[in-house]
Structure 1
Amino acid sequence: MASLKKNLVYNYILSASQVLLPIISIPYLSRILTPDGIGRVSFIDSFTYYFISIAEFGIVVYGMRAIARQRDDRIARGKLVAELLALHVVTSGIALLLYAIAVVLAWKHIQDIRLLLFSVSYLLVNFFACEWYFLGMEQFRYITLRSLATRLLGLVSIFILVKGPEDYYLYYGIVVTAAILNSLWNNYYLFKEVPIRFKGINWKQHIAYTKFTWLISLTYGITLLLDNVFLQLVSTAAAVGYYAFSMKVVKAATVLLTDSLLVFFPRIVALVREGNKAQLQAVVARNIQLMVFFAVPLSIGIFLLAEQLIVTFLGNQFMAAVTDVRILTLFPFLRTYNLFLSKQILIAYDQEKLYLRGLLVGGLCFMALSLLLSYYFADVGACWAIVGSEAITLVINYYYARKVAAGLSLFDAKGFLHALGSALLFIPVVYGISKVADSHGMVLLLSVAGCILLYSLVQLLVMRNAFALVVWEAIKRKSLQKIYHY
């Protein structure tokens, strides 16, 4: 239990850094760089990462699970690592070839050799990516400290090197360098810790197991990584800039919630295999309670404070993105609920094929909606496209989850109404504060504090919400374990 509690702490530290560090860097970057420059970086970053996903070939999920099974056998681990690294080198070579073809076709949307060189550098270093090893060995302390070090170094570099609109390529260079440092750091510790020999290995045997998870990852990446790419293909770099930073604001608010749900996954898998339906329902109910309790007020709060968020974090030159943020307020709830249905239900029941079907339909809908709506409505169209595709995927996932987990309750209507009723009280709070506060930043600060306090009190004292009571007990005992106890 001590190990689990430590891993939870490191997981929260890492997740918090994903939220807090962008809160520091985004306001600076949005005022130094133009929407056009940010759009260029967002395009090449998404473009590059999709080919990294192609190269990954499902090795991350498969490798993490396989390493966990061999963690006590150092020799077997070394052989497995060598085989998976060799497989990744082969798939990375194929991905690099496809990348070269795509660059030729999409060059008019890049048009900067400096961005291209940084992109290629990361692709080459990524040939020996091995993050899966440290995840499988549950070395969360190492992962957290390493990531914090590179992220902080990147943050400092941004303030030192990015001084004007023309420095957008340096911003991308810093992002890439941080990722490269992570990869090289991993390689150093991996080769130091594990005896690796490439002679006489059989890397082909793993293809049958990795290809399916690869298809899931690749399809999932359509909305996760190609949104900026599709928008750039039919619109302008400035539109990509508005959309990309709007998504950064919304995703930063979603990270802690989605990461919290992942902590439940191993326990759900174990309960499904044990056939313990009563305890399984209890764990699933806790997942839903957590999701609804935080996602609903988060979405409503972002909608009401969209203008204040944009002006405070991005600056006046991004005022056109206010509409984007308001459309994307549905995203935290949709994405979190989709994660719950897919990971906690479908994958836990070994129904990856059903999960893939939902992703394929949602991905195809996103491609069609994105190209069509972005062509006519630029960044606003892109926002509607991703929200619409998430909603479509949610309907499909819910249908499949109901069939697979027959008898399990997959939604908490009472908790949802509690959350919605409590969060609607934000409207007079935000309206009243906006009438008396003298700046957008002050409105944002006072509204967030006031809404959190009001929501907590209403849920706890008026609604007597079950999850609110659990959270309150955990706070009094200063223990995360209480929240994750079923």
Structure 2
Amino acid sequence: MRIFKNLLLNGSYQLLLILIPLITTPYVSRILGVEGIGLNTLTATIVQYFTILAVLGTNTYGAREIAYYQNQKRERSNAFWGITFISFITTLISGILFLFFVLFFKKYEVIFLWQGVALLSVFFDISWYFRGIENFKIIVSWNVLIKVITIILIFLFVRSSDDLIPYIIILSLGTLFSNIILWLYLKNEIYPPQLRNLNMRRHFYGSFALFVPTIAVQVYTVVNKNMIGVLDSIGSLGVFNQSNIIIQTALAVVSTLNVVMLPRTSLLFSKGDVAGVHRNIVKTFNIASSIAIPTTFGLAAISLKFAPFFLGPQFRMVGIIMLRAPLITTN
């Protein structure tokens, strides 16, 4: 029953994530144009290199570790503080490297600095803790509120092609506030940190071990955008990014199941229930496949007509690029 409730909550949230692009993407595409979208994408993806370093593997590792100790408050508290302090350190190092980059690069300084708020968001991100204890209600409720406010602010303050910076500010601060708010719910969840019991070395190795296998995929999703922006043009990057948004929106539906099932699978593993773990993995794969395959073929079938209708005539090429839809089945 708890899994079904979490799946329903995350499904509702992912539905909102689908509706947001349906509402904002056509508007923003027409207001900012291919150049504005391309510049936003280029600067955001460069900042993403630094956020990848800042996050390390703490998001996945943290949720898994907290899930192991769902019913043991002292061990759960030690794990939380150990992982959080590692996240603080990696974010601080990444932030210093980012500031050096901005000082030496000099181009688009203001845009980069506002995009850099993403690093502050990583610093305060403890959503992995609430995923670990399977309390998705807090994460979803606040994110829904912030997303709705973000939509309203975009329509109010992004009115011309010169409003790229306000657009970036709205998105960046929205993510930051949604992460900071979660700290208010920790009061009765964990004990104060005991430095001698944080076991930071073990948590660092655990986070790094999960970081290494995923970095190739993470960097791949960033590098291709950088290459388009540098080797072709900012406009071409804007076109590619809009196709990517549509595909990633569909992908979000499939990934909902993984987010919900990870803490439950981790808890079963910590109890030695190998059969339960196997059962969860098979169930997750079957449900995800039944969603991903029809979505892939449906998106590919409508892409050429859908893109110019949805985004505007200047994004006509998006329809061709959307034939990348089979990527949805690789999640």
Partner of 1:17: 16
Q: Deviations over 1:94-145 (max 9, x none)?
A: 21233234445655xxx32321221233313532321211111111011110
SS in 2 for 1:34: helix
Q: Normalising by structure 2, what TM-score? A: 0.87
SS in 2 for 1:138: coil
- Establish whether residue 253 from structure 1 lines up as the match of residue 250 from structure 2: yes
Where do 5+ consecutive residues of structure 1 fail to align?
Answer: 337-486
Structure 2 vs 1, CA of residues 121 and 259 (structure 1 numbering), >3 Å: closer, same or farther? closer
User: Which of 151, 168, 171 lines up with 2:147 in the alignment?
Assistant: 151
- Establish whether residue 181 from structure 1 lines up as the match of residue 180 from structure 2: no
Q: Contact (CA 8 Å) 1:54, 1:218: kept in 2 or not?
A: no
Taking every aligned residue pair, what percent have the same amino acid on both sides? 20
Structure 2 vs 1, CA of residues 269 and 24 (structure 1 numbering), >3 Å: closer, same or farther? same
Q: Counterparts of 1:323-362 in structure 2 under 5 Å?
A: 323-326=320-323, 328-333=324-329, 335-336=330-331
User: Which of 208, 214, 230 lines up with 2:211 in the alignment?
Assistant: 214
Q: Counterparts of 1:307-456 in structure 2 under 5 Å?
A: 307-326=304-323, 328-333=324-329, 335-336=330-331
1:79 counterpart letter in structure 2: N
Partner of 2:112: 116
Structure 2 vs 1, CA of residues 310 and 188 (structure 1 numbering), >3 Å: closer, same or farther? same
Q: Deviations over 1:177-226 (max 9, x none)?
A: 11101121122323564332365455234222221112123222112333
Structure 2 vs 1, CA of residues 276 and 189 (structure 1 numbering), >3 Å: closer, same or farther? closer
Q: Contact (CA 8 Å) 2:68, 2:267: kept in 1 or not?
A: no
Q: Counterparts of 1:77-96 in structure 2 under 5 Å?
A: 77-96=76-95
> Partners in 1 of 2:3 and 2:295 — Cα distance?
28
CA RMSD of aligned residues (A): 2.8
- Establish whether residue 127 from structure 1 lines up as the match of residue 137 from structure 2: no
SS in 2 for 1:170: helix
- Establish whether residue 138 from structure 1 lines up as the match of residue 134 from structure 2: yes
1:252 counterpart letter in structure 2: T
Partner of 2:53: 54
> Partners in 1 of 2:266 and 2:89 — Cα distance?
35
Structure 2 vs 1, CA of residues 176 and 191 (structure 1 numbering), >3 Å: closer, same or farther? farther
Q: Contact (CA 8 Å) 1:46, 1:225: kept in 2 or not?
A: yes
SS in 2 for 1:165: coil
Structure 2 vs 1, CA of residues 131 and 312 (structure 1 numbering), >3 Å: closer, same or farther? same
Q: Contact (CA 8 Å) 2:251, 2:328: kept in 1 or not?
A: yes
Q: Contact (CA 8 Å) 2:13, 2:144: kept in 1 or not?
A: yes
SS in 1 for 2:70: coil
Q: Contact (CA 8 Å) 1:53, 1:217: kept in 2 or not?
A: no
Measured after TM superposition, the shift of residue 50 of structure 1 is 2.8
2:33 counterpart letter in structure 1: T
> Partners in 1 of 2:301 and 2:73 — Cα distance?
54
Partner of 1:403: none
Structure 2 vs 1, CA of residues 125 and 26 (structure 1 numbering), >3 Å: closer, same or farther? closer
Partner of 1:38: 37
Partner of 2:156: 160
Partner of 2:302: 305
Bigger Cα displacement from structure 2, 293-302 vs 232-241 = 293-302
Structure 2 vs 1, CA of residues 48 and 198 (structure 1 numbering), >3 Å: closer, same or farther? farther
SS in 1 for 2:48: helix
> Partners in 2 of 1:43 and 1:5 — Cα distance?
39
User: Which of 218, 227, 247 lines up with 1:230 in the alignment?
Assistant: 227
> Partners in 2 of 1:133 and 1:63 — Cα distance?
7
> Partners in 2 of 1:121 and 1:308 — Cα distance?
37
Q: Counterparts of 1:279-294 in structure 2 under 5 Å?
A: 280=278, 284=282, 289-294=286-291
Structure 2 vs 1, CA of residues 240 and 198 (structure 1 numbering), >3 Å: closer, same or farther? farther
2:36 counterpart letter in structure 1: G
Structure 2 vs 1, CA of residues 248 and 202 (structure 1 numbering), >3 Å: closer, same or farther? same
Partner of 1:461: none
Structure 2 vs 1, CA of residues 90 and 8 (structure 1 numbering), >3 Å: closer, same or farther? same
Measured after TM superposition, the shift of residue 83 of structure 1 is 2.1
Measured after TM superposition, the shift of residue 306 of structure 1 is 1.5
Partner of 1:342: none
> Partners in 2 of 1:262 and 1:133 — Cα distance?
13
SS in 1 for 2:162: helix
Q: Deviations over 1:230-264 (max 9, x none)?
A: 32232211111100011111221222123235555
> Partners in 2 of 1:106 and 1:298 — Cα distance?
41
